[in-house]
């Protein structure tokens, strides 16, 4: 049984990392999916990896931090899908720096993409979701929203905002048929954590060169060997956005291999 048969989904940040893994997981389960990303090359890579399922995949170049682009991208997605049942907001960036060296522009860039961008995509998607089947939204928070990750003040603030917004939206739309949940990835290997990505979902530099690595010893996963792959989070996202998660709303699920107990 494919959980995404006859299910229509929009995934931002679908050009790499967890966003791409989520697109591929939903396609594998029979869904029709729109992958949105700021990176054309990343989207092309997603299409290639989709293989025979590419006929159920549509891509759209979107800068979620830009209101006009977010509006146009969601409209394109809804038109191609003929409606919308699931939205996954995986797009985001990570920036690490010493706080005293962080400019207002750098801080605002992270907030603009991670928090405001998520809001814009949700706002534009709500009319279609209200008409959807088993409508669900999965947002991306982070373990940084609840635990101390040094050098990431802007990122932590943005993800804390996403998490709080998720709870507020869940309460607002609980009686109108839309569920809102969030995932908290941690210790996941992706372009966002290694700085290799080019999309909004995965573009981020490493730690400051003089970072005190002793502060990161507690961020080692308790399960397995090293960081897990993005498909580890994609499987949880796919559950939350499917009917298997129909009794889950207004909460977050941590996926970090026991990094934080």
CA dihedral for 107, 72, 9, 133, sign (positive or negative) = positive
| Cβ–Cβ under 8 Å, residues 12 and 121 | yes
Note if 155 is an active site residue: yes
Q: Which is the catalytic residue, given 4, 151, 155, 173?
A: 155
Q: Can you tell me which residue has the tokens 């682009």?
A: 69
Are 65 and 117 contacting, i.e. CB atoms less than 8 angstroms apart? yes
> What is the spatial order of strands in the sheet that 8-12 belongs to?
57-61, 32-37, 8-12, 86-89, 136-140, 179-185, 251-255
CB atoms < 10 A from the CB of 144, how many? 20
DSSP 8-state secondary structure symbol assigned to residue 167: H
Between CA 32 and CA 39 the distance in angstroms is: 21
Q: Tally Cβ neighbours within 10 Å of residue 17.
A: 31
Q: Let me know: does 199 contact 38? Beta carbons within 8 Å.
A: yes
- Extract the tokens encoding 239: 């559950």
Structure tokens at 203: 């573009």
- Where would I find the H helices in 98-197? 104-111, 117-130, 153-173, 191-194
Tokens, residue 164 = 């709080």
In angstroms, the Cα distances linking 181 to 20, 81, 134, 170 are 19, 22, 13, 7
* Active site residue ranges: 155
């Amino acid at each position: 049984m494919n959980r995404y048969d006859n299910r229509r989904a929009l995934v931002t940040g679908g050009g790499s990392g967890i966003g791409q893994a989520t697109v591929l997981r939903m396609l594998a389960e029979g869904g029709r999916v729109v992958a949105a990303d700021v990176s054309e090359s990343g989207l092309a890579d997603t299409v290639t990896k989709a293989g025979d399922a590419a006929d159920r995949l549509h891509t759209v170049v979107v800068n979620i931090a830009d209101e006009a682009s977010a509006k146009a991208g969601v409209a394109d997605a809804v038109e191609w899908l003929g409606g919308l049942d699931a939205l996954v907001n995986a797009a985001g960036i990570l920036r690490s720096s010493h706080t005293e060296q962080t400019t207002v522009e750098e801080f605002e860039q992270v907030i603009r993409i991670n928090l405001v961008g998520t809001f814009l995509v949700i706002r534009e998607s709500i009319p279609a979701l209200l008409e959807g089947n088993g409508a669900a939204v999965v947002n991306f928070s982070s373990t940084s929203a609840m635990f101390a990750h040094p050098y990431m003040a802007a990122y932590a603030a943005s993800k804390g905002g996403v998490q709080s917004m998720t709870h507020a939206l869940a309460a607002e739309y609980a009686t109108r048929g839309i569920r809102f949940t969030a995932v908290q990835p941690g210790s996941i290997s992706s372009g966002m954590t290694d700085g290799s990505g080019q999309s909004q979902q995965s573009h981020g530099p490493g730690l400051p060169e003089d970072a005190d690595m002793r502060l990161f010893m507690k961020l080692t996963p308790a399960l397995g060997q090293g960081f897990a792959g993005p498909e580890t989070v994609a499987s949880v996202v796919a559950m939350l956005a499917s009917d298997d998660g129909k009794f889950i709303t207004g909460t977050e699920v941590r996926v970090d291999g026991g990094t934080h107990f």
